[in-house]
Amino acid sequence: MSFHEMVITVRAVNRASAQFSRIQSDAESLTTRVKSLGSALAGIGATGVAIGHIAQQFGILSAEQARAFNSAMMVVSVMGLFMRTSWGVAVAQKVYAVACWIATAAQNALNISYATFLALTGVGIAVIVAAAAARWSFASRMNAATASMKEYNAAMAETPGHSRSIQRAGEEEYHRRGIEY
């Protein structure tokens, strides 16, 4: 291995190391936020349990209602405590990764639909312009053909009948009777 190859390798590691450091800091930040949320949930659950006991003592809640409310608040508290553990953080990171994947898929779908809209809009406009150009071309050709026929008919009307063409025997009889062939 030459010295030049070592320099390239070291530069590649250094460039990649910055991204790895960024990913690590993002993961640590997410861990801190998840643990903070877990602490808040544990506090809300514990507070809810205390409120349930007080509400039962003052007669606001019956024994069954207080038991159901306290059970729900204990579940919230346990979820908060679980989120503070490494397993809880791992689960939260997996959920976050799935949510990011869903958001990315949705964004890609929106980008694709927007790109399709732009492409179809552009193609649609191009088709309309092409159709208008073809219609104008056809109309101008038809106008030229009509003008040519009018000029031909006007010239034929001025030409004497016997010099127009060779007449077949019996053709005058057909014209006299109004039969065209």
What digits encode the pLDDT tens for the residues 67-119? 999 999 999 999 888 888 888 888 888 888 888 889 888 888 887 777 777 67
Q: In this structure, how many other beta carbons lie within 10 angstroms of the beta carbon of residue 55?
A: 16
Which residues, including other chains, have CB under 8 Å from residue 42's CB and lie 6 or more apart? 77, 80, 81, 84
Q: How confident is the model at residue 16 (pLDDT cuts 50, 70, 90)?
A: low
DSSP-assigned states of every residue in 102-148: HHHHHHHHHHHHHHHHHHHHHHHHHHHHHHHHHHHHHHHHHHHHHHH
For the chain, strand residue ranges (E) read: none
Mean pLDDT computed over 112-128: 74
| Predicted pLDDT of residue 52 | 93
Helix (H) or strand (E) holding 59: none
| Predicted pLDDT of residue 142 | 93
pLDDT of 172 over the 60 cut: yes
> Rounded distance, CA 40 to CA 34, Å?
10
- Tell me the C-alpha to C-alpha distance, in Å, between residue 175 and each of 35, 155, 171, 180: 106, 20, 6, 7
Q: How confident is the model at residue 46 (pLDDT cuts 50, 70, 90)?
A: very high
| Predicted pLDDT of residue 31 | 85
Count CA within 13 A, CB hemisphere, residue 41.
Answer: 19
pLDDT of 12 over the 90 cut: no
Helical axes 3-57 vs 63-83, angle rounded to 10°: 170
Tell me which of 6 and 62 has the higher pLDDT: 62
Helix (H) or strand (E) holding 58: none
Q: How confident is the model at residue 40 (pLDDT cuts 50, 70, 90)?
A: very high
Percent of the chain with pLDDT over 90: 26
Q: Give the pair of three-digit tokens for residue 55.
A: 């509400």
